Amino acid sequence: LKCDSVVSEISAGPGTVNFTINRELLAKTVLQQVWKDGSEYGVKSELFSTVPRQKAVIEFSSPNIAKKFHIGHLRSTIVGNFIANLKVALGHEVVRINYLGDWGMQFGLLGVGFQSFGNKEKLKSSPLQHLFEVYVQINKAAEDENIKRLAKDFFRKLEEHDEQTLSIWKQFRDLSIEEYIRIYKRLGVHFDEYSGESFYQEKAQEVLKMLEDKGLLQKTIKGTGIVDLSEKKDLSTVSTVMRSDGTSLYITRQFLVISFRDLAAAIDRMNKHSWDTMIYVTDKSQSNHFQHLFQILKLMGYDWAERCQHVSFGLVQGMKTRRGEVIFLEDVLNEVRSRMLQNMTSTKTTKEIQDPVETAEKVGLAALIIQDFRGLLSSDYQFSWDRALQSRGDTGVFLQYTHARLHSLEQMHGNAEPTDVNVACLQDPDAIPVLQHLLRYDEVLYRSSQDLQPKHIVSYLLTLSHLAAVAHKTLPVKGSAPDVAQARLCLFHAARSVLANGMKLLGITPVTQM
């Protein structure tokens, strides 16, 4: 075995052959690649050269109008956003869809409630809060026969497109979406399409007819409509699709029931977007729902159902604000911002920050996202404010702190192009691990692209931050010889660049001051 430009030394030990890589070549190759590829570093790797570019439709967040935007929706929102970001970074075309719970009997109740307790001013100023309060009030009387009758009437009028009733419903929907958009903006999330159950009223009837024509819809003795999903066609696995009174089941994802609307929505998206893959991001309690949905689509003759995927996640326990239970997503965002602001004001460097509130928001959001993404998505976890907001350890705050420190180093000393750098100055035992780690970024992206789990990227970025923190301590730029200082600056620039790229994929905006 001969040495060459890559292998600088070969030695044999007892039962082993040891190869030493040319470390100057390592430093030069990595630093030049990071510099050249910039935000596309890792994505341009040969690992992705055989992966075909595809069109993906991703349905995520999907809150119910007038109900709590609960923490499950927060998880769906940040997980869906991560998957979309990753796919876009890898060159795929992505359509982000928010499928709102905007139809069903609860709107009959809500309409009646608004006529009794509604306030137009409050509806305009804080629609989600006000509709929720109205819904809670009317729900107390929901068992009253008179209220039940009025609610049924209101919803029947909605289904019959009565103009006055529709305009009330449309106002609820439009004002809610406006407020959602404002909240999503705080999360750094956007959607290409706001769709909802209301869109598929007519198309749901077409699906019903298709199921009947194909002989897939069967009636039980009680008159309930079912589809037989069992292999032997012995009714051992069935999916309920219709109530005995002939109405298709609304807000059915909570139960093991498929609504014609979900079937209609899937078919419509294929017709509209001709996608290669469609991903639904919801909690794991809905796994059976999607299994049945995909099976029915396949029985209907849609082979593309095999390219549908359900990305499920576990439950978050114990997320409370200082005021008690979390009702709205905004409560969480305000809470994390105020706690972070409090932590920042107690440290001496914070006074110089231009916009401390904005910084606290970004750092707080990083804390939420990293705590959420550290484990397998399907795992339940216990939320802890104290753990999430620690500035040391494996937290989002630590990632932001590392990024801000490396950024200020560049602000102070500028940064050097790798072509001018003497890589012989980067052979220190604390520099090599950073270089080796930077080299692995593409493998981590590849793993996450295969299983859509953010934890690979999270653990990579945390390790990178720890390695960079050690190097920052032991390899000073200030006071070093000019070529040593330049080489170290180049190393820190590369670490910061990859750290920022990875954070953005996760849905985190890197801060430059802290």
SS3 226: strand
The one catalytic residue in 68, 70, 456, 472 is 70
Number of neighbouring beta carbons within 10 Å of residue 335 = 19
d(CA 105, CA 110): 9
CA 467, distance to chain mean position in Å, is 27
d(CA 514, CA 501): 19
Of 110, 133, 108, 135, the closest CA to residue 122 belongs to 133
Spell out where 304-385 has E strands. 308-313, 316-317, 320-321, 324-325, 381-382
Tell me if 97 sits within 8 A of 269, measured CB to CB: yes
Of 466, 319, 473, the closest CA to residue 384 belongs to 319
Of 248, 208, 288, the closest CA to residue 104 belongs to 248
Structure tokens at 237: 């696995």
SS3 476: coil
d(CA 146, CA 154): 12
Tell me if 410 sits within 8 A of 381, measured CB to CB: no
What are the backbone dihedrals phi and psi of residue 379, each rounded to the nearest 5 degrees, phi first? -80, 140
The one catalytic residue in 67, 148, 273, 455 is 67
Q: Is 70 a catalytic residue?
A: yes
Of 483, 107, 123, 59, the closest CA to residue 309 belongs to 59
The one catalytic residue in 68, 73, 92, 289 is 73
Q: Is 351 a catalytic residue?
A: no
Q: What is the 8-class DSSP label of residue 251?
A: S
Q: Is 472 a catalytic residue?
A: no
Residues recognised as catalytic: 67, 70, 73
